[in-house]
């Protein structure tokens, strides 16, 4: 199933999100407008706003609240990408130069700050205090999670747990907020809110694991960035961790961490790619995906629930 | 008059702010706790939270709302300082190494993001939607103002207006939010809110001009950073602008802008310091200070109003 088929139910709403993103980029300052257009226009799969919209379909859907919220979620996501690319020194994202590479780190930093503020302003426009508090807590989780991550040195055992905590903070928290906010803003009963939040969290965990697998097995042209870029930056994601759990003394992979040993990276990527670690990662992603789907068991069996189930399957199968 | 004399009326409340800042730094992650402690402990004059507290004294003062708000304002301020120091490449602030210098730019960036989020979370805890919206709009003004500034090249005429727009966005907006939020959260009538907001804006303009003057005439030990650091970074503040308005062809000063010509900076600082530009700047700061004080004309003539008047005088006289 293609993403467009899954999105069919919320086609019009996603178009409104797209238009709202254009409005966000329509500001007086020419530089800010240029940066916003570059960052917000196309390229993204808009999965997070789609989740907010779908999660809003189970009770009293109100587009006046859900569209701004979906936009806020996408802006918060974009802001974290812009800042992440500074932190990681990434030259390329979605096949084009990152803002920090094209305009410099200073402008990227201030653009990210602006995007955080604009996202907060849109979340505030819903007038819902629970959502507003949730929104700032999500950014606290993301930034403190990233900080914790860059301060730990890789060490077995404990690496796997550390990785799960990290992706829970940096990725799953925003997916959980995306679905929770959709449910809350459509005034769903608390059980529905919790089910959709639970779905969002597990969806986010699966999403990040698959992303980290794709960094090893994907093609540069699809990834929009070089293969093995995490390993190249000395970052241990799940494939490296599972590989090292089976080969704790492997000097090739160990040599890469921390040292950014550029020459060994292709060899290390190849060793991991051909190891069972990849399938083990995908099995773990499938587990999270199954948990996400199970969370929806008690929701009404309608087209929107089916779309959420399809989206979860799509996410874990996009490596094929 | 000393700052402590002016603060006497809100001594206990400021102590509560200090304690709340310690609570903010009390987090699980050891690195984050260390960074927060380093950034939040001492050093600052706490002028912005003091303004929120004083502005809250004209109607129904509620410390359960005003203390968290005062803390939120100080955290937002601190976050912008941490990010500014990255953008400006500043090695020193308040006499100690900046976070970006001591821990690296990546950690400083994420710390700033965390502080923004924590500030937003505290503002949200007031439950006041007007304040919450104002808060994110303030961050939008600050970041877009900084972006606009780093993209303009110095050019007469227009430089003075450009400078006023810049400091209005980067500095005065937060002072205005500090006083406006105090007034709103104590449920002041709209005329009182506007008067205090107006005071905050003009106070902020005066404050920044004096800060920019001190960068030329202060002593390194008082400034906590080298003299002439703005000029050294190629940034045109009011003293340089007024100097160049009188000496449009001056090659010494012009040579410094944009080129970060380190050897000429002390000579340029000296030329500006001995010129009438300094007194002209201070006269403009006094104008803004007078406007700030006039904004309070219709407020009750009580100790709190007097404290605000004294604080404005203190600010423009701290160069002596």
User: Given phi > 0 = left and psi -120 to 50 = alpha, else beta, which region is A156?
Assistant: beta
Give the tens place of pLDDT for each residue, A75-113: 999 999 999 999 988 888 888 999 999 999 999 999 999
Which chain B residues contact residue A30 at CB under 8 A? 151
What is the rounded CA–CA span in Å between residue B135 and residue A124?
10
What is the average pLDDT across B123-143? 96
Higher pLDDT, B285 or B44: B285
Nearest to B143 among A114, A125, A138 (CB): A114
pLDDT the model gives residue A258: 59
Q: How far is B137 from chain A (nearest CA, A)?
A: 7
Residue among A116, A129, A147 whose CB faces B29 most closely: A147
User: Is the predicted pLDDT of residue B260 greater than 60, yes or no?
Assistant: no
Closest by CA to A259, choosing from A243, A236, A275, is: A236
**Predicted local distance difference test score (pLDDT) of residue B94:** 86
Q: Which residues contact A27 (CB under 8 A, 6 or more apart)?
A: A33, A36, B144
Domain boundaries, chain B: 3-317
The CA distance from A182 to A126, in Å, is 11
Nearest CB to B113 within list A32, A120, A143: A143
Res B124 pLDDT > 60: yes
Instruction: Round to whole Å and give the CA distance between B159 and B38.
Output: 36
Cβ-based contacts of A151 with chain B (< 8 Å): 29-31, 107
Q: How confident is the model at residue A45, as a pLDDT? A: 92
Q: Half-sphere exposure (CA, 13 Å, Cβ side) for A22? A: 6
Q: Which residues of chain A are at the B interface, by a Cβ-Cβ cutoff of 8 Å?
A: 27, 29-32, 35, 83, 86-87, 105-107, 109-114, 116-118, 120-121, 124-125, 127, 129, 132-133, 135-140, 142-144, 146-148, 150-151
Which pLDDT does position A320 carry in this prediction? 67
For residues B300 and A255, which has the higher predicted lDDT (pLDDT)?
B300
Over residues A41-51, mean pLDDT: 90
- B113 with A114: Cβ contact below 8 A: no
Instruction: Please say if the pLDDT value at position A116 is more than 80.
Output: yes
Cβ contact A117–B129 (<8 Å): no
Q: DSSP alpha helices (H): ranges in A126-189?
A: 129-151, 159-167, 173-185
Long-range contacts of B29-37 (CB under 8 A, 24+ apart): B29/A144, B29/A147, B29/A148, B29/A151, B30/A151, B31/A147, B31/A148, B31/A151, B31/B107, B32/A144, B32/A147, B32/A148, B32/B111, B32/B114, B35/A147, B35/B99, B35/B103, B35/B107, B35/B111, B36/B111, B36/B114, B36/B115
Q: Closest-CA residue in chain A for B88?
A: A106
Please name the residues in contact with A137: beta carbons below 8 A apart, sequence gap of 6 or more: B117, B121
Q: What confidence score (pLDDT) does residue B49 get?
A: 98
> pLDDT (tens digit, 9 = 90+) per residue, B152-179?
767 777 899 999 999 999 999 999 999 9
Cβ–Cβ below 8 Å for B129 and A129: yes
Does residue A157 have a cis peptide bond before it, meaning omega lies within 30 degrees of 0? yes
Of B29, B112, B133, the CB nearest to A144: B29
CB contacts, 8 Å: B107 with chain A:
147, 150-151
Q: How confident is the model at residue A261 (pLDDT cuts 50, 70, 90)?
A: low
Q: Which of A121-135, B139-153, B254-268 has the lowest mean pLDDT?
A: B254-268
CATH superfamily placement of domain B3-317: Farnesyl Diphosphate Synthase (1.10.600.10)
Here the ipTM equals 0.94
How many Cβ atoms are within 10 Å of A42's Cβ, its own excluded? 8
Tell me the mean pLDDT in the region B277-298: 97
User: How far off is chain A from B205, nearest CA to CA, in Å?
Assistant: 21
Q: Choose among A30, A109, A136: nearest Cβ to B83.
A: A109
Which of B113, B130, B153 would you mutate first to test chain A, the one with the most A CBs within 10 A? B113
B151 to A31: CB separation less than 8 angstroms, yes or no: yes
């Amino acid at each position: 199933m293609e993403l467009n088929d899954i999105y069919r139910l919320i086609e019009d709403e996603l178009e409104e999100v797209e238009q709202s993103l254009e409005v966000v980029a329509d500001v007086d300052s020419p530089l800010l407008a240029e940066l916003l257009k570059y960052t917000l226009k196309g390229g993204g799969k808009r999965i997070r706003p789609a989740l907010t919209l779908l999660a809003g379909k189970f009770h009293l859907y109100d587009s006046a609240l859900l569209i701004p919220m979906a936009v806020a979620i996408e802006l918060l996501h974009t802001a974290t990408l812009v800042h992440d690319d500074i932190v990681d020194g990434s030259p390329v994202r979605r096949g084009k130069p990152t803002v920090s590479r094209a305009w410099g780190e200073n402008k990227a930093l201030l653009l990210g700050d602006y995007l955080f503020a604009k996202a907060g302003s849109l979340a505030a426009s819903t007038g819902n205090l629970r959502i507003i508090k949730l929104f700032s807590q999500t950014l606290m989780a993301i930034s403190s999670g990233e900080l914790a991550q860059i301060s730990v040195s890789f060490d077995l055992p404990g690496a796997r747990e550390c990785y799960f905590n990290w992706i829970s903070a940096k990725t799953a928290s925003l997916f959980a907020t995306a679905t929770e906010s959709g449910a809350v803003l459509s005034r769903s009963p608390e059980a529905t809110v919790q089910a959709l939040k639970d779905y969002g969290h597990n969806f986010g965990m699966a999403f990040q694991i698959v992303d980290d697998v794709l960094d090893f097995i994907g093609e540069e042209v699809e990834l929009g960035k070089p293969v093995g870029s995490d390993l190249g930056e000395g970052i241990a994601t799940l494939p490296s961790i599972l590989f090292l759990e089976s080969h704790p003394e492997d000097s090739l992979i160990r040599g890469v961490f921390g040292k950014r040993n550029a020459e060994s990276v292709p060899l290390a990527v190849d060793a991991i790619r051909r190891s069972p670690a990849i399938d083990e990662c995908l099995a773990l992603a499938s587990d999270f995906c199954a948990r996400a789907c199970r969370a929806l068991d008690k929701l009404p069996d309608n087209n929107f629930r089916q779309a959420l189930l399809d989206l979860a399957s799509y996410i874990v199968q996009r490596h094929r």
